Amino acid sequence: MSDPIADLIIRLKNATLANLKEVVMPYSNFKLAILSIFKKHGFVESVSVKVVKEKKALEVILNGKKITHIKRLSKPGQRIYVKSNEIPKPLRGLGLVLISTPKGVISGQEARKQNLGGELICEIW
């Protein structure tokens, strides 16, 4: 798999469109950080780490809220970096953008407050 973050995004989008209650995907610390922010902002209900066939996996319980838009911004072939004053505000501030900063993965709103820039990961609403 060349882009595991895009895989995470597509699995979440497909699960919400199919009205599934849970999604299981391969584990990584980066995915766990992204999903914990989604949980904090109410896009998923819970995230847990399970062991499936001697490998770690992430089990995501969806809350039934439709994810109408989720898009990977920075791709492996084209990385997008922004300064703190250039962070986009999707849906005029109602959407959520995730940024990978030196202090970890945080939302765009928190990055603006902390005056941090970094790599744009995705946007969701």
Q: Domain residues of the chain, as ranges?
A: 4-61, 70-124
What pLDDT, on a 0 to 100 scale, did the predictor assign at position 64?
84
CA quadruple 21, 63, 66, 68: dihedral sign: negative
Is 100:121 a contact under the CB 8 Å cutoff? yes
Write out pLDDT tens, residues 58-72. Answer: 999 999 888 899 999
Write out pLDDT tens, residues 81-94. Answer: 999 999 999 999 89
CATH class of the structural domain 4-61:
alpha beta
Rounded mean pLDDT, 111-122: 97
Provide the whole-model pTM. 0.94
What pLDDT, on a 0 to 100 scale, did the predictor assign at position 107?
97
Looking at CATH, the fold of the domain delimited by 70-124 is given as: Dna Ligase; domain 1 (3.30.1490)
Q: How far is CA 23 from CA 13, 54, 75, 83, 103, in A?
A: 10, 18, 23, 34, 28
Write out pLDDT tens, residues 32-51. Answer: 999 999 999 999 999 999 99
Q: How far is CA 125 from CA 29, 43, 66, 118, in A?
A: 23, 8, 9, 21
